[in-house]
Structure 1
């Protein structure tokens, strides 16, 4: 009596799985492209949002590293009755006597001195430009850079000369500094001797016309009370200096003094950007989900259209497991194409936007890997039901349906 050998189905190697899985993609290229595009849009949105946000934060960190985080500001707060407080005229000098303080400078708002391009401008058209009395050491204290011209010094600070902030110069239509360029401040002509670049740590200066402290007193009636004092101290002593700034700047009413660090405002901005990033990532996830539904729809229709193929393969000996593997592989290939294309698109969008803004390009590897991984998971889930449905078709049922 001879033993009858048990027939075993041919084994499908990984290369075979890829070949049969790609059959549906090759025979229906436009449908495959549109389904992959839905996945790609979701991944591109996620990668670009994370990349742009990371590039923005990298630029912010670079700015803070260049300018330092040891800049503290002192400003008047409110009185106990709710009125606006005022710093003493000698507060800048008193702050300068704090031992760890290396640099101190100040500005004083001159509310009555409105800024106009010339005398023919309507008085209501101020453009939101403020006038500040300015110490000569201000630029070094806040790390501001000149776009054009020169900074105020002991000589020019005594005469009608001004340095304009970046936004103020743009609103006044002034592109360069020079002895022939003048603006009207408080009813008097001031020569524009310089224009600043945007000041990252002193945003008030961007919308300001800065004049020398002595010229502000003699020409514009400035009362000598500073409205903002800027200090630089040793990094290790920043918190210690901060704790005594209020009582030093105004010993009689330290509760009427506000002490802040510009880097805290930047940190708050960073937190706001992170919240916005979370919202945009949510939108990207929705787009990714829509793409997954598109893949599932494509695979279900593919099963219905290819029942003859399924019946033929079953009649030739293909097992249910092999049919499941074929359609699951097709779904994974479709999603992988969309994921790879989306990651590439998101990287290009991030690169283009970062270059246009002058930022370093940062694309976190976890965002790319996570995005492609998410597409594979979605592809597996989207293809699971169609694959199981295809495997359950008997050969006679599948062939009879044609």
Structure 2
């Protein structure tokens, strides 16, 4: 009898495993049945990802444009300027510094500029003396534009004739602040109490930005009319790329052998590094804002999933009654949360990419979107989807079939 009972005992049933395609289908049920709610939840994720992609992309595109500009102008420019003495006073560079640096073998070109401190600049004599607009007057050598890569927007540069007479070239910012739109024989500014004719206006000079807010006059006329003492304050040096660091190490001692500590030596890459540090700090701030938006989107996904569990209790009870395990219920709702976040992340990547490319195209920049930003954005959305959907999925799996089916 026992053998018969043993023979007729029903075999133990094991629940069927869900294939990946089955997981996707059941996970998409909630998205298909409630498309508007799913869209609004995914939109929150998309906004956060788009903000992050856009910030990183625009910042990278701007940096690429700056690198391209510097590469076109040449990064072999070294700047030698007067520093300070041990007492904190402004040091003076020797008059012979320019000639001494020219003797360095790898040096290809040297040009000098000197700030004329007492020569204030005004549009006319009627402007109050306190309104200097932050402009400076520089005595400049004739070969200065070729050395620093400056170009003219209007007029001409100083020549052997005009450098001896009251003629001036305005930097791009200086022209804007003085209200000078074009150079011409009838356009004059007041420099050090004397009228100078504006013969040229420069374009912005990326490798020597101090010239943008300067009024440049000839070396001889500065000495004759503006009480210029003849000491250079800045030397611009072009050198061979291969010998850049070697030349940089000897420039201070060559410019002022008696007090090399009173000489400051820099190059465009130093200014570029400072700009990039500032840009990275600003980018970090904006990325924080994008992360907050992403967090808000994750909260929206979690809220959507909790409501979905409450509304679909009968469906959960029916599936449990038909043999679905707790693990399969968890998988269903976790897959739905991940799908919702993935849709938002993909939409955010597309929006952020479109914004970056559109803005870069408008500015004439190369469009650069780092791969790590796209991959990181998608990974962040999946992580948020998993975290946001975990609690609702566990809650759904713990519902007993009878309790779920009894819910109206």
Q: Give me the TM-score of the superposition, normalised by structure 2.
A: 0.92
Q: Using the alignment, how far apart are the partners of 1:246 and 1:318 within structure 2? A: 80
1:198 — aligned with what? 204
2:75 is aligned with 1:62: no
2:191 is aligned with 1:185: yes
User: Which of 328, 333, 337 pairs up with 2:339?
Assistant: 333
2:373 — aligned with what? 367
2:290 is aligned with 1:284: yes
User: Which of 198, 208, 231 pairs up with 1:225?
Assistant: 231
2:407 — aligned with what? 401
Shift of 1:89: 1.9
2:274 is aligned with 1:268: yes
Q: Using the alignment, how far apart are the partners of 2:207 and 2:157 within structure 1? A: 18
Give the superposed CA RMSD: 2.0
The 8 Å contact of residues 201 and 263 in structure 1, kept in 2 or not, is answered as no
Consecutive unaligned residues of structure 2, counting only runs of 5 or more, are: 1-6
The 8 Å contact of residues 92 and 106 in structure 1, kept in 2 or not, is answered as yes
2:261 is aligned with 1:255: yes
Equivalent position SS for 2:212: helix
2:82 is aligned with 1:76: yes
1:314 — aligned with what? 320
Deviates more, 1:133-142 or 1:60-69: 60-69
1:91 — aligned with what? 97
Q: Using the alignment, how far apart are the partners of 1:255 and 1:369 within structure 2? A: 48
Matches within 5 A, 1:1-400: 9=15, 12-400=18-406
Residue by residue over 1:369-393, the C-alpha shift from the partner in whole angstroms, topping out at 9 and shown as x without a partner, is 2211221122122212212221222
Residue correspondences, number: 402
Residue by residue over 1:272-318, the C-alpha shift from the partner in whole angstroms, topping out at 9 and shown as x without a partner, is 32233234333323332232222112111110111012122323343
Equivalent position SS for 2:182: coil
Shift of 1:242: 1.8
Shift of 1:102: 0.8
Deviates more, 1:388-397 or 1:16-25: 16-25
2:4 — aligned with what? none
Q: Give me the TM-score of the superposition, normalised by structure 1.
A: 0.94
Consecutive unaligned residues of structure 1, counting only runs of 5 or more, are: none
Q: Using the alignment, how far apart are the partners of 1:128 and 1:276 within structure 2? A: 26
Q: Using the alignment, how far apart are the partners of 2:333 and 2:195 within structure 1? A: 80
Shift of 1:351: 2.2
Q: Using the alignment, how far apart are the partners of 1:149 and 1:377 within structure 2? A: 60
Equivalent position SS for 1:154: coil
Q: Using the alignment, how far apart are the partners of 1:255 and 1:299 within structure 2? A: 67
Equivalent position SS for 2:224: helix
Residue by residue over 1:344-366, the C-alpha shift from the partner in whole angstroms, topping out at 9 and shown as x without a partner, is 12112222332344321101122
The 8 Å contact of residues 201 and 262 in structure 1, kept in 2 or not, is answered as yes
Shift of 1:221: 2.4
Residue by residue over 1:178-234, the C-alpha shift from the partner in whole angstroms, topping out at 9 and shown as x without a partner, is 222221212222221211111111111010010111221222222111111111111
Equivalent position SS for 2:196: strand
Residue by residue over 1:2-29, the C-alpha shift from the partner in whole angstroms, topping out at 9 and shown as x without a partner, is 7856656555444443333222223323
Shift of 1:148: 1.8
Q: Using the alignment, how far apart are the partners of 1:255 and 1:175 within structure 2? A: 42
2:3 — aligned with what? none
Q: Using the alignment, how far apart are the partners of 1:17 and 1:246 within structure 2? A: 70
Equivalent position SS for 1:232: strand
Shift of 1:244: 2.0
Equivalent position SS for 1:195: strand
Equivalent position SS for 1:52: helix
